[in-house]
Chain A
Amino acid sequence: MAVLPPSKSSKRSKTVEKGAGTDPTRRKVLKGAAAAAGAVVGTKALGGFPTIWAQEIKDIELRHVGVSYSVVKAIGDQASKDLGFKVTMQNLDTSAAINRFITQPDSVDIADVEGWQAKLATRRGVIQGIEVAKIKQFDNILPIFTKGELDGNVVSRQGISPYQAMYIEEPDSRELHEGVTEWATFLPQVYNADSIGYRPDLIGRDITEWKELLNPEFKGKAAILDVPAIGIMDAALCFESAGMIQYGNKGNMTRDEIDKTIEALIALKRDGHFRATWTTFDQSVQLMAAGEVIIQSMWSPAVAAVRVKDIPCVYAPVNKKDGKEGYRGWCNGMALMGHLEGKKLEAAYEYLNWYLSGWQGGFVARYGYYSPVPSTAKEYLTPAEWEYWYEGKPASEVILDPYGVPMEQPGAKRDGGSFVERVTNISCWNTLMDEAQYMNKRWNDFKVA
């Protein structure tokens, strides 16, 4: 944590140059390994190349570090199998992760970052730019990320949208760049649109607006997410929906807006409106499944986890309406740590390319998350799965979760509809506000009130 030294920028840019051009043979070998994705890789796939390269690749270990819903062991295992070198997945919670990237950058190879974390990591100089030209699927990445739009609709810029955090001018830049460049801070890999989960059996009607979370009808049975940075945005979506508070930018509130939001939350808390607040996935599942809470801000796989217990739970479709409502979007991506160089850097690029090549997209789709390259994910999904998860059509057969457990019966439909409908209705993105410290302080006022 000590005083951080200025960047090792000169060293880093050299590193990147080295990775960029030299040593074509070695790169070809690595590419060969990647191309064999899906097949059993080993001596066979690498046959014909000098054994020494296979040997060297085998000794490489990439440490991919981040939150559990994004950095998944099964994905790392598959990557190791397909690529011929070792990928280790390590999980930390969001704040422990960013602290580790910043204070012990050398202990991580691939950092799992959200847009706002990419911004912080860039500012601290712990990551190096990703050379866009080396990412094979880059042009197939949805323009939500690469251009900040989808089908001509501009994607919301409230909060820190992935597009805004995506580019830097030079591989060692310390500032984000507005507009497309040759260098990316991070490569989006998984994302979703979050809203409210509720128990239809106990509520008895459809919920499509955030303000329902504040409805006195649900007094003592409501909960919100207790991660200040995103909890306050969920709260803001509620207050905005109820017409109680107006926001310039829910993703970057002024002190005044923060004060109003917290005061309103405290009033609700004093009134006994919230049964609890939750911080982890499991807590939210427990609260809902046990009936402690019947409506709360929630994450998509948590809703699925409640449903797997045969307890009805709906993920409310909160399409934008009159400048209100909308989903809170989030996106995790992969960033290359600054210390990567040479062979390890090449392996890291192979890993990034593998990641976008479809297997991972198919895997995360089965618990409700999306891949930035749906075209490759589609190849790894059955037509029924594709229709259910991406097109919002009724399931034509039993839908299985990533581990093969039946999840939805034929005829079931994904809450919120198709991919395009859900994603274009994102109204703000996970963020780190300029007033983050003040906001945290006020959030704690809410907690102790």
Chain B
Amino acid sequence: MRLPRSLVGWFYVSPLMLVLIPFFVLPMVVIITASVLEGDGFGGIMPFFTTQNYIDVFGSGLTFNLYFSTIKFTILTWVFSLIIGFWVAYFLVFHVKNQLLAIGLFLVCTVPFWTSNIIRMISWIPLLGKEGLVNMILQGLGIIDKPLEFLLFSDFAVVVAYVHQLTIFMIVPIFNSMARIDKRVVEAALDAGASRFDIMRYIIVPLSKSGMALGSIFVVSIVMGDFFVVRVMSGGGSASVVAALYEDISVLQYPPAAANAVVLVLVVMLMIGLILRTVDIRREIAR
């Protein structure tokens, strides 16, 4: 029996559709619907169309402050995790000659991730606190005479926790794409007299772009959607888009929360679109 071509096509995409429709499309439809309805202030939603929720979101300076703060954390986390992730992957792929050892070290990178990320985050607190290890050591060495307060409950602490949590998401895809670089290309470049910098610039970075893009997508979407790390590590001194949204939900203001969620999804999609526009992942992977 021969199936018509179009049907075969649908067949191919059906596994993805089976996941996407119930777990993404349907919830989004519910959220979008809720975002244009009126709430009664008691957790009820009334079937009256309104754009007021969106007007409130865009008309409030708070929205911009929240996005500014969240995007600031996203960019800082992205930069540091990319730099660290890139060099870790580079070291594992090009400097560790023994492949078994390289894979072993790669697995070692994942060891901290065997514990919950909440524990990993909270363990920074005794380290960075006023009476924490870092301050104690610095004071013991006589480098500072008063504890450094910016270490904990600050933007610094938030970024440290994010980078610690998310660098692995950079290492894995970059490692993967670097490992597929043909070593002979590097050798040929060396033979042709290329400097180490040129090799990095013309061979390694371009050929591991897809890994960097994939890692960036993970990091950006996780930081944009997080509220817990910000809350704990900033000592409540900073807020994030999702934290604000969650507070709406806590007083049962579903429609404004839904409008906020829709805007957030659009912003994250836009950011990921930008990443994909810079690096054509599909082409790079097919390479």
A272–B62 Cα distance when bound, in Å, is 21
Stretch from A13-21, A49-57, A434-442 that touches the partner:
A434-442
Q: In the complex, what residues of B have CB within 8 A of residue A4's CB?
A: 43-45
A220 contacts B149, C-beta separation under 8 Å: yes
* B38 vs chain A, min Cβ distance (A): 11
A99 on interface, CB distance cutoff 8 Å: yes
A291 contacts B251, C-beta separation under 8 Å: no
B238 contacts A448, C-beta separation under 8 Å: yes
**Given A276-B153, A291-B130, A120 contacting B236 (CB threshold 8 A):** no
Stretch from B17-25, B77-85, B214-222, B240-248 that touches the partner:
B240-248
* A120 partner, pick from B131, B235, B252, beta carbons under 8 A: B252
CB under 8 Å from chain B, chain A span 258-288: 269, 274-279, 283, 286
B244 to chain A: closest residue by CB: A444
A280 to chain B: closest residue by CB: B232
Size range of the chain A interface in the assembly: 35 or more
B106-142 near A? 1/0 per residue, CB < 8 Å: 0000000000000000000100011100000000000
Q: In the complex, what residues of A have CB within 8 A of residue B60's CB?
A: 441
CB under 8 Å from chain B, chain A span 395-445: 432, 436-437, 440-441, 443-445
B65 contacts A445, C-beta separation under 8 Å: yes
**Given A124-B44, A437-B256, A448-B69, A292 contacting B250 (CB threshold 8 A):** no
A1–B254 Cα distance when bound, in Å, is 8
B153 to chain A: closest residue by CB: A276
* B130 partner, pick from A98, A223, A290, beta carbons under 8 A: A290
* A99 partner, pick from B45, B62, B66, B250, beta carbons under 8 A: B250
Q: In the complex, what residues of A have CB within 8 A of residue B44's CB?
A: 4, 124
B30 on interface, CB distance cutoff 8 Å: yes
Q: In the complex, what residues of A have CB within 8 A of residue B43's CB?
A: 4, 98-99, 102-103, 120, 123-124
A151–B153 Cα distance when bound, in Å, is 46
B34 on interface, CB distance cutoff 8 Å: yes
* B172 vs chain A, min Cβ distance (A): 32
Q: In the complex, what residues of A have CB within 8 A of residue B254's CB?
A: 1
A449–B69 Cα distance when bound, in Å, is 10
* B132 vs chain A, min Cβ distance (A): 8
**Given A98-B250, A286-B125, A279 contacting B231 (CB threshold 8 A):** yes
CB under 8 Å from chain B, chain A span 209-254: 220, 223, 226, 228-229
* A292 partner, pick from B45, B62, B129, B244, beta carbons under 8 A: B129
A78 on interface, CB distance cutoff 8 Å: no
CB under 8 Å from chain A, chain B span 55-90: 60-62, 65-66, 69
**Given A4-B44, A292-B130, A99 contacting B65 (CB threshold 8 A):** no
Q: In the complex, what residues of B have CB within 8 A of residue A99's CB?
A: 43, 249-250, 252
B32 on interface, CB distance cutoff 8 Å: no
* A148 vs chain B, min Cβ distance (A): 23
Q: In the complex, what residues of B have CB within 8 A of residue A291's CB?
A: 130-131
Q: In the complex, what residues of A have CB within 8 A of residue B206's CB?
A: none
**Given A4-B44, A95-B250, A124-B42, A277 contacting B237 (CB threshold 8 A):** yes
Q: In the complex, what residues of A have CB within 8 A of residue B273's CB?
A: none
**Given A120-B43, A123-B42, A444 contacting B66 (CB threshold 8 A):** yes
Q: B residues within 8 Å of A by Cβ?
A: 30, 34, 37, 41-47, 60-62, 65-66, 69, 125, 129-131, 149, 152-153, 231-232, 235-239, 243-244, 246-254, 256
Could you pull out 23 A-B pairs where Cβ atoms are within 8 angstroms? A1-B30, A2-B34, A3-B45, A3-B47, A98-B43, A98-B250, A99-B252, A120-B252, A124-B43, A228-B247, A229-B251, A276-B235, A276-B236, A290-B130, A291-B130, A291-B131, A292-B153, A436-B251, A437-B256, A444-B244, A445-B61, A447-B239, A448-B239
Known interface pairs A2-B34, A448-B238; 12 further A-B residue pairs with C-beta atoms within 8 A, sorted by A's residue number: A1-B45, A1-B254, A95-B247, A98-B43, A102-B43, A276-B237, A286-B125, A290-B131, A437-B256, A440-B248, A440-B253, A448-B69
